[in-house]
Structure 1
């Protein structure tokens, strides 16, 4: 198991931050591996491209791995809308993929990144994604059934940000993202990623979480797989089961982890992604 200092060193050496731009927009991202197929990794609301470090290094033996910083995260240009929908992020993602010349990729969305990924697949049915993998997908609170929860969630997140700042919010919230058995270095890496957020980008992402609904983009016009941490209390298995059902696929539980599976079980997650891609390999040729 890597220490926090070892992860920081590996991040700079093997998964460094780079940037690309097009039409006045800029994206920062990280890349690893030289494989023929490309995995495009979309992080969640409390994270960044760096959270995929160990997944990328493990999967990079077989794939080219590209992990973006969503609009408003890292050095990526924020979206124009104060309350963006997933389609706004999908449009930015299309620009990002076009700028990098990526075609036929496997799109992997973790947490809120899954909402962005499903919106992309719906908006660009003949686009650059050939397969969709959802990891602990966050459905969002945009549906009517969540009317009672929506404002509570928005207020809770934005008030915590205002009262505690990014670093204080990370210290308070990061522990919920891992299982009880997670080690200290794993907890520290999750906290460090959250503490690196841009406040304005987090506010926009909170509006996405509260204003849109992943089920709106189901079913998908391409193959889908859905995974969830067995100990996830943020997007628990029951909630992920409903997402999987909306896409007509079984939910696969990942043992030994909570919500932050890319950090907590990166090698198992990379192997699970590899197996899923191999099973549906004909879609990605």
Structure 2
């Protein structure tokens, strides 16, 4: 009988980089814990992930941006080792308050704030509440949410579907089933596995709270913005399509661009172009440029 051979994980090298270069620490904030990953020094750029992801999804973007500034990515409340929010139906303001406490703990007075997908709603809410703390806002494939009364029926359907999928499939199976939808048809197998790896680490309680944010809020509720804003979208994004992102950009008075060869999870699928656009936003924020 031949001995069993060990097959390395397809994401083993990324997991090693995550531990070695973009390490986690857990901050104590009043009565809660907040997990972050960080790299680099200098002006701060803060990265907020989407509903089906985590801080690790920013790894390859952060490794490049760490040469220009202090890069911080959080695991949203209820994700990873971050404490969930007290309310089972939290608002964007609840997430924004936790972010403010996180930046206070890190000694960050202001930053370039980046929100991907659902993270865009928290980023917009934070910018509305604390405009002096945001030098520039960048939204990548922003989710608008379903909080507008005109979208209420759609929001109820989305809530029911996501909660049902969670209960019937569980996190691991959900990650296996949904990963390909996050990427373009040309995505590499490695990118697909990294999306799945991050999604498989969701915590049910935090995910349920995030579903309530998605279905209960509307990004445009936090407009108009008082800071410069850029919106980017993967050209093959099937979750927040380019047309929808362009509509949001126009409503926010933001610049807009497409990211070639990318689906919804562009920070994983195309980390180099994404990092380049964020580096540009950081540079613009430091020169005082406006739109």
Q: Distance in 1 between matches of 2:11 and 2:228?
A: 36
Contact preservation (8 Å) 1:37, 1:63: yes
Please say if 1:80 is aligned against 2:86. Answer: yes
Q: In structure 1, what is the equivalent of residue 153 of structure 2?
A: 148
**1:3 to partner: Cα distance:** 5.0
Please say if 1:6 is aligned against 2:13. Answer: yes
Q: What are the superposed Cα offsets for residues 141-200 of structure 1, whole Å, 9 maximum, x if unpaired?
A: 010221221111001100000001000111111110000000101000000100000010
Contact preservation (8 Å) 2:112, 2:281: no
Contact preservation (8 Å) 1:82, 1:204: yes
Q: Distance in 2 between matches of 1:134 and 1:19?
A: 25
Please say if 1:268 is aligned against 2:273. Answer: yes
Q: Distance in 2 between matches of 1:130 and 1:106?
A: 5
Q: In structure 2, what is the equivalent of residue 38 of structure 1?
A: 44
Q: Distance in 2 between matches of 1:222 and 1:246?
A: 14
**1:216 to partner: Cα distance:** 0.2
Q: Distance in 2 between matches of 1:277 and 1:245?
A: 22
Contact preservation (8 Å) 1:131, 1:283: no
**1:16 to partner: Cα distance:** 1.4
> Given the alignment, which residue of 188, 195, 199 partners 1:194?
199
Contact preservation (8 Å) 2:141, 2:245: yes
Q: Distance in 1 between matches of 2:222 and 2:116?
A: 16
Gaps of 5+ in 1: none
Deviates more, 1:78-87 or 1:270-279: 270-279
Q: In structure 1, what is the equivalent of residue 114 of structure 2?
A: 108
Please say if 1:242 is aligned against 2:243. Answer: no
> Given the alignment, which residue of 197, 203, 212 partners 2:217?
212
**1:105 to 1:280, Cα distance in 2 relative to 1, 3 A:** closer
> Given the alignment, which residue of 11, 17, 25 partners 2:32?
25
Contact preservation (8 Å) 1:174, 1:190: yes
Q: In structure 2, what is the equivalent of residue 170 of structure 1?
A: 175
RMSD: 1.3
Structure 1 segment 125-144 matched on structure 2, within 5 A: 125-126=131-132, 128-144=133-149
TM-score by length of 1: 0.96
Please say if 1:47 is aligned against 2:59. Answer: no
Q: In structure 2, what is the equivalent of residue 70 of structure 1?
A: 76
Q: Report how many residues are paired.
A: 281
Contact preservation (8 Å) 1:58, 1:270: yes
Q: What are the superposed Cα offsets for residues 67-121 of structure 1, whole Å, 9 maximum, x if unpaired?
A: 0111001111111111111111001111111111111211011001110000001
Look at both structures and tell me which one has the larger radius of gyration over its CA atoms: 2
Q: In structure 1, what is the equivalent of residue 23 of structure 2?
A: 16
Contact preservation (8 Å) 2:32, 2:83: yes
Contact preservation (8 Å) 1:28, 1:74: yes
Gaps of 5+ in 2: 1-8
Contact preservation (8 Å) 2:45, 2:282: no
**1:60 to 1:3, Cα distance in 2 relative to 1, 3 A:** farther
Contact preservation (8 Å) 1:110, 1:135: yes
**1:271 to partner: Cα distance:** 0.6
Q: Distance in 2 between matches of 1:77 and 1:150?
A: 26
Q: Distance in 1 between matches of 2:149 and 2:248?
A: 16
TM-score by length of 2: 0.94
Q: In structure 2, what is the equivalent of residue 96 of structure 1?
A: 102
Q: Distance in 2 between matches of 1:140 and 1:263?
A: 22
> Given the alignment, which residue of 247, 263, 281 partners 2:286?
281
Contact preservation (8 Å) 2:136, 2:281: no
